[in-house]
Structure 1
C-alpha cells in the first residue's frame, strides 16, 4: 500500500484533492489506520483515479463523475465518451478563438473611428457576371453566423466543379439576400463561362449588373472587414447616397500566401434617394 502522499505523487494529484475525493465518497482509501488516521491506497485504485480526473477535466461535475464511475463503463465506452467530449472542447476552443479575433477586429475598428479610409472608395459600374454557386442560410449577418456557413461552401463548390469538369473563369463572389426574420441567404459563387445545366449539382446564374456601386478593396482576412464596411458606410452617407441591399464580396486574392496580402473588393450598389 501507499501513503496518501506517495499515492498523490503517483497519480499526479494533490493530497488535498485526494482528501476531498475521500470526503465526498468518490475515492476512499483502501485502508485507514485506526490509531493514527493515516490513509493508505493501493496501486489498483489508480485506475479509478485516472478515470475520475479525466472526467472532471472534461467538465463533468463530481456528481456526474460518480454516476459514470459507478456504472463501471468499459474502456471502450469510456474512450468513446471522452473522445466525444474532447471533440466538443476542441470545437469550443475554435469558437472562442474566433470570438477573440472578432473582438480584436472590433477594437481595431474603434481605434480607427474618425480616420476611416474613405479616400479609397471608388464609384463605378459593375458588369453582369455569370457564377456557379451553392446556397445556404445563416441565422444572421453577424460574423459568427456567416463564417461557419460560407467557409465550408467554397471547398464543396470547387469539388463539385471539378467533378463536372467546369473550370473557374474568374474570382470567387459571395452574395447575400435577406430571408425570414434576421436570417440571411448566403450564396458562395465563382465566376464561370458555362451555360446552366440540370446535370450540374450546383446552380449557374447571372448576377445582374450594378449601374453604380461604391467599392473598396479590403486587405487582409475577413476578420477585419468591418473597418472597410464602415468606411463605405461613412462615404455613402457623406455623399447623399442610399445603399441597396447587401454588398457583394469579390475575392480578388484570398486564401493563399500571406493573409496580409489578401484582397477582397466590396461592392455596394448605391442610388440617389
Structure 2
C-alpha cells in the first residue's frame, strides 16, 4: 500500500485533491490507520483515479462524476465521451492543446486497464552524481505546475555553465523536493540539473550539489512528452505493489532526459527512477 503522499505523487495529483475525493466519497482510501488516521491506497485504485480524472477533463462536475462512476460507465462509453471532447478541444484556443494531449493519455491508460505491461521495470542501483543545478518553486506536483517552473531553468543553466567554462558530462535531469510553508501546503521545489565533474569557479551563478545514490531504484523508460509522465509513473507504481516493495522518501521520481528532440516531444525518451525498499 501507499501513503496518501506517495499515491498522490505516483498518480500525479495533489494530496489536497485526494482528501477532497475522500470527503465526498468519490475515492475512499483502501485503509485508514485507526490510531494515526493516516490514509493508505493501493495501485489498483489508480483505475478509479483515471476514470475520475478523465471525466473531470470532459467538464463534468464532481457530483456528475460520482453518478457516472456509480453507474459503472464502461470503457466504450468513456471512449465516445473522450473523442467528443477531443473534437471540441480541437476547435478551441491553442491553450487547449496541452489538455487535449492529457485527455488522450488518460484514454490510453483506461484502455490498458487489466493488462498494463510492467515487465520493463528494472530494479537497479543508481550511483551518486555531482550536478550543476538551478531550482524554482512550484505550487504542486501537478504536471502543468512542474512544466511552468522547470522548463525555463535549462536554458538559463546552460548559459551560466558555458560562461564559466563548465561542461556537462551526462544528460539533463530533474528531481523534486517538498517545500511546504505550512500545514496543507503542497508546494515543491523543482531542480533542473546537469551532471558535471572537476572544479567549478566560485560563485558560478548556479548551485553545485552532490546527489546521493539510490540503493534500489525502480526504473522505467517513458516514451513521449512529459505531460504524459503519469502513464509511466503508474506502471512503476503497479510494479512496486506487485513486487512487494514500497517507496522511500517522497515517492517523487528522479527524471533522466536521455533523448529530447525539441521539435518532436513525442520522441522524447526519459528514464524515471523511484527509490524503493523491500516491504515489511
The normalised TM-score by structure 2 is 0.61
Contact 2:220 2:232 in 1 (8 A): yes
Higher relative contact order (CA closer than 8 Å, sequence separation 6+): 2
Secondary structure, in 3 states, of the residue corresponding to 2:230?
helix
SS for the counterpart of 2:134 is strand
SS at match of 2:95: helix
5+ residue gaps, structure 1, are 1-91
- The corresponding residue for 1:165 is 165
Determine if the alignment matches structure 1 residue 266 to structure 2 residue 272: yes
**Cα offset for 1:98?**
1.8
Task: Return the offset for 1:113.
Answer: 2.1
Contact 1:126–1:212, Cα closer than 8 Å, also in 2: yes
1:242 maps to 2:246: yes
Q: How does 1:143-182 map to 2 (within 5 A)?
A: 143-180=143-180, 181-182=185-186
* Bigger Cα Rg: 1
Alignment of 1:86-165 (within 5 A): 93-165=93-165
**Matched residue SS, 1:120:** coil
Contact in 2 for aligned 1:174/1:248 (Cα 8 Å): yes
Q: Is the 8 A contact 1:99 1:144 kept in 2?
A: no
TM-score of the pair, normalised by structure 1: 0.63
Contact 2:144 / 2:227 at 8 angstroms: preserved in 1? no
Does 1:225 find its partner at 2:225? no
In 2, the alpha carbon distance for the partners of 1:168 and 1:210 equals: 21
1:214 to 207, 213, 218: 218
How many pairs does the alignment contain? 182
Distance 1:257 1:110, change over 3 A: same
The answer on 1:254 being equivalent to 2:251 is: no
Partners in 2 of 1:93 and 1:154 — Cα distance?
27
- C-alpha distance in structure 2 between counterparts of 1:186 and 1:195, whole Å: 25
CA contact (8 A) 2:173 2:255 kept: yes
Single out whichever of 166-175 and 95-104 deviates more from structure 2: 95-104
